[in-house]
Amino acid sequence: MKQRSIKQYFITGLLVWLPMGITVWVLTWLVGLLDGIFLAILYAADTVIPGIHLVAEFLRGVPGLGVILVTLVIFFTGVFVANMFGQWLLRQWDNLMNRIPVVRSIYTSVKQVSDTLFSGSGHAFSKALLVQYPRQGSWTIAFLTGTPSGQVAKHLGQPMVSVYVPTTPNPTSGFFLIMPKADVVELDMSVDDALKYIISMGVVVPGGPDALPPTLAAPSQPAP
């Protein structure tokens, strides 16, 4: 068997197993996170409530129970908060959190960020941009997060935008930049396609191989 054929078979097998392995890894991490939340709540209940030890030990041994229960709690919390009484109770909880000195800073910051990211009316991460970073002449993909306001906008003499520049291949870390609006190029690309482009380090082209220029398209292999 030729060395070239061995390499081609290995790459083909890698292309089959790599997406599957990463998908399983992400799902395993998510299940572990939800199970960890459930076990922490169960441990706290076991400590506070006497006589629940046997029930807690039984529940700890049920695989996947934490994922199901935490998912149901999140879902029914959303259903409860959607009505008038739930909204009132949520406001009381927010007021309580805002009265605790140290907790107030953390809680309000996280709440503002989560409301901005997950709100249907928000503009955060709604557009994919092309920006010059880390120097002039070098371009990368970024996401629009908003426009500067308050004291920051007061000291800026021109229209600016706030952008998030993710790192590759892990887009959960990155850099927050305030750039002139004139220097930002808005792309006709969905956020999902932009994320695929970033995670793949430019290998996965938005629009598929047909979107590549003729000079960059993969050459056809000669018949053996």
Domain limits, the chain: 3-60, 128-208
Q: Are 178 and 161 in contact (CB under 8 A)?
A: yes
**pLDDT more than 90, % of the chain:** 9
User: Which is more confident, 124 or 153?
Assistant: 153
How much is the pLDDT for 18? 77
For 105-135, give the DSSP string.
HHHHHHHHHHHHHH-TT--TT-SEEEEE-SS
Question: Could you give the percent of the chain with pLDDT greater than 70?
Answer: 83
Does pLDDT of 181 surpass 80? yes
The residue count of the chain comes to: 224
Instruction: Measure Cα distances from 188 to 2, 127, 139, 171 in Å.
Output: 44, 9, 16, 20
Q: What is the pTM of this model?
A: 0.52
Residue 198 burial (C-beta neighbours within 10 Å; 0-12, 13-18, 19+): buried
